[in-house]
Amino acid sequence: MASGYEVKDYIGHHLTNATMCSTDNGIAFNEACADAGFFAIHLDSMGWSIGLGLVFLILFRSVAKKATTGVPGKMQAFVELVVEFVDDNVKSTFHGKSALIAPLSLTIFVWILLMNLMDLVPVDVIPKISGIIGEQFFGIDSHHVYNKAVPTTDINVTLGLALGVFVLILFYSLKMKGIGGFTKELTMQPFGHWAFIPVNFILETVTLLARPLSLALRLFGNLYASELIFILIASLGLAQLPLHFAWAVFHILVLPLQAFIFMMLTIVYLSLASEEH
């Protein structure tokens, strides 16, 4: 471990977000934001998620501009493989007609994958660098400098992604079915009798709300647990190396899988929302 404080403090430090909030005395950070509630922002989650989103955009745009019809380079071949993989899944799963679904699915898959892959960075590297910068340039004790580099371990990020999907579900439901059709879907299923309208409405509303909630909690739960295990392994000191390697190898499969599941469920939910009947 990089420092001498207790394992509990070590784990707590690594799982704490760099927070900024507004208080009666002005802008405050970290511990001073304990009572800020909803009106606070996690600077590290926002910074890393936006930064990785820009990496995705710049990388794919660069490859698209340099694409050739001849023998493709390694990067072009990789990007084409990812695009074809996503496109095949969209064509086989989404049964409506929309020019948005394929690029949306590609963005979701690659963006979440990049955020998940931050979980493979050794857990002490980024906090240690951040602590050094905080001490040298801002005079802040390194124990009070936080930088959680895996955005998908923040429930606010996964809920934000899921909320975007939920808005699209409502948009496609209203667009394809109309207000009357969508209302009928919520009130006349699964029991097609007017006497069951209250029961149907409760059941269908719970089902509708459960979709984005399950998306958010599934991604957050898997990545948070993964990061916690990496931190626990790191707390072992030199004995961590074989365990860290084994857990990292396992996650080479898990991290893309979580991005794929989020993408596929998004396609399925939007496909259901687009069914006119």
Is residue 211 among the annotated active site residues? no
Question: How far is residue 150's CA from residue 159's CA, in Å, rounded to a whole number?
Answer: 15
Q: Which is catalytic among the residues 222, 226, 235, 274?
A: 222
Pairing label, strands 40-42, 19-23: antiparallel
- Report the C-alpha gap between 42 and 40 in whole angstroms: 7
Active-site residue, from 98, 156, 218, 271: 218
Give catalytic status of residue 89 as yes or no: no
**Is 218 among the catalytic positions?**
yes
Nearest to 45 by CA among 116, 151, 118, 145: 151
Buried b (16+ CB within 10 A) or exposed e, 132-162: eebeeeeebebeebbbbbbbbbbbbbbbebb
Catalytic residues: 214, 218, 222
